[in-house]
Amino acid sequence: MLGFMARLAGYHHVALSVKDIDVSVAWYRDVLGLQEELRLEPDGRRVAILRLPESRQQVGLVEHQGPSGFDVRNMGLDHVAFSVASDEELEAWARLFVERDVASSGIIETPFGGMVNFTDPDGIALALYWNR
């Protein structure tokens, strides 16, 4: 068992590679309601840091120079799942996706709750999850 000093307190951020930082920032802001905190341009990259509302959790978006060749079937990130507080909120998100023409799986029942799968403008796999 890990000692006290080795425990994780949660996650700080997840960083996603995107094709166009401006398009992606607008989508994450307008569709998911994330708040832009900061933009940087280190080492030939364009970076935007977004924050989940009323949270310390962040999503970093990174536009790299040149082609990425990213494919979710390769080793690495499979998807990012955001939590919602209730099945009613999950239903509200599913309706919002329909209203905003965001293609999604609709609500999928799982042994532990429900989820909705969808992708961002670059095809990055995302999900909303309600844990019973």
Domain boundaries for CATH 3.10.180.10 within the chain: 12-66, 78-132
Which two tokens mark 107?
């609500």
Q: What is the pTM of this model?
A: 0.85
* 12-33 pLDDT, tens digit each: 899 999 989 999 999 999 999 9
* 83-113 pLDDT, tens digit each: 999 999 999 999 999 999 999 999 999 999 9
Residues 39 and 48 sit within 8 Å (Cβ to Cβ): yes
* 78-132 CATH fold: 2,3-Dihydroxybiphenyl 1,2-Dioxygenase; domain 1 (3.10.180)
Q: Which residue has the tokens 């909120």?
A: 89
Q: Can you tell me the distance from the alpha carbon of 47 to that of 52, in angstroms, rounded to the nearest whole number? A: 17
Q: Can you tell me the distance from the alpha carbon of 26 to that of 112, in angstroms, rounded to the nearest whole number? A: 32
CA distances 96 to 34, 87, 99, 103, 125, Å, are 15, 14, 5, 11, 18
* 12-66 CATH fold: 2,3-Dihydroxybiphenyl 1,2-Dioxygenase; domain 1 (3.10.180)
